[in-house]
Structure 1
Amino acid sequence: MTIASLASETPRHETPRHTPRPLVLGSTSRYRRELLARLQIPFDVAAPDVDETPAPNESPRALAERLALAKARAVARQFPGAVVIGSDQVADLHGEPLGKPGNHERAVRQLQQMRGQTVVFQTAVAVVCQESGFEQADLAAVRVTFRDLTDDEINNYLLAEQPYDCAGSAKSEGLGIALLSSIESDDPTALVGLPLIRTCAMIRAAGIELLAPTGAGA
């Protein structure tokens, strides 16, 4: 497994926070990478080798929770001394899981299914450190109600945004916000892909201090 350092986010020679253990994001998602960078602590990224096929009769919530933990554990085996974050998101339409569409045609079908409906985006996060034996997981459920979209609105949105790597085809941090009539969540970044309130709580519990004095004030 290749691990890529995000030197452009927080250079290792200018570490602004004291981190007893290295932090690794077990995901190649650019959305999760951008969200985690908001915490202003150095971290690395590694791709988890996990089969994401749903189990028979597995609920969207159970699928998201299982995959988040599986991703964190897979990367933690490669980097046993690190604190590893794994996350997964599944769009839940009345119990039916909707993943990343991958192409325009599947995205059209997803949005046609979701128009006028309330969809629960199940966003799970897990934090694992193999060396210390630390393991926690949590889930943020985001209730999203879609407008009664026309076929033209769906097609125009997809051509403009091309959100084919987003669960449920709804890129809410971009033009996708125009698809929606309401969002209900207690963890605002969960819909984008990583619930930072829950993530902060878990990495603090794993021993990484987020609000330690900076080098300038120490």
Structure 2
Amino acid sequence: MITKIILASTSTFRKAILEKLQLPFECISPETDETALEGETAQQLVLRLSQLKALAGVELYNQSEPSVLAADLVLSADNPAVVIGSDQVAVIDGQIIGKPLTKENAIKQLQQASGKAITFYTGLSVIHNITKEAFSIVEPFTVHFKNLTTAEITRYVELEQPLYCAGSFKAEGLGIALFERLEGNDPNTLIGLPLIQLIKLLKKHNISVL
């Protein structure tokens, strides 16, 4: 029986990254409250949200597959799937920063990042829709910024409009021009889906890329 792969995300960037593995998959769009809990660290936040997104994706997938709703596991085994959930936040000066949403906020975020290092934490969870067996990790990635002028920052924001990107840049695009160096195990992590770790988690669910 083939186990389906479901990406619980609306992100076109995560979809494009997952396509690199050349495995068939489907996307599903769970709604999850991404508000941080009081006292929650960045690592705790992304781990919790990645798990919630994967679980919400399992529920949506199961609702779309009638046999999975059956009490009899023999029937539900006709639709086995693993659901991938992921979430990411950026931390600068010990503070979690989110999506800027406006040009003014994007400029402020990049001014704060100029000459400093931002660490991104990406939570990744892979859950089986029937057994509920789950594996999760948090992967860090650090970006070291150049010393940027206000003119450079403003020009970048106008060109790429990174209003829905935590940290106010798109690493897969012109954002690379903002960096002095990158520090991490997997450049895909910076865009939102750590493939090296994902391959390991899929393997735990008996899904091999090669």
TM-score with structure 2 setting the length = 0.88
Mapped pair 1:26 → 2:8: yes
| Displacement after TM superposition at 1:132 (Å) | 2.1
- What are structure 2's unaligned runs of at least 5 residues? 63-79
RMSD over aligned Cα, in angstroms? 1.2
What SS does the corresponding residue of 1:183 show, helix, strand or coil? Answer: strand
Q: Provide the rounded CA distance (Å) in 1 between the counterparts of 2:39 and 2:132.
A: 31
Mapped partners of 2:106, 2:39: distance in 1: 23
Q: 1:105 is aligned with what amino acid?
A: E
| Aligned partner (choices 22, 40, 50) of residue 58 of structure 1 | 40
Provide the identity percentage.
40
Q: In structure 1, what is the equivalent of residue 28 of structure 2?
A: 46
SS in 2 for 1:160: helix
Give the aligned partner of residue 119 of structure 1: 118
TM-score normalised by structure 1 residue count: 0.85
Q: Where in structure 2 are the equivalents of 1:130-169 lying within 5 Å?
A: 130-169=129-168
The aligned counterpart of 2:19 is 37
Q: Which has a greater percent of helix? A: 2
Partner SS state of residue 49, structure 1? coil
Matches within 5 A, 1:38-117: 38-80=20-62, 81-117=80-116
Deviation at 1:95, TM superposition (A): 2.2
Conserved in 2, the CA contact under 8 Å of 1:102 and 1:164?
A: yes
User: Which runs of 5 or more residues in structure 1 are unaligned?
Assistant: 1-18, 212-218
Counterpart in 1 of 2:178?
179
The one-letter amino acid of 1:25's match is: L
Provide the aligned length of Structure 1 versus Structure 2: 193
Q: Distance in 1 between matches of 2:42 and 2:150?
A: 26
User: Whole-Å Cα distance in 2 between the matches of residues 182 and 49 of structure 1?
Assistant: 35
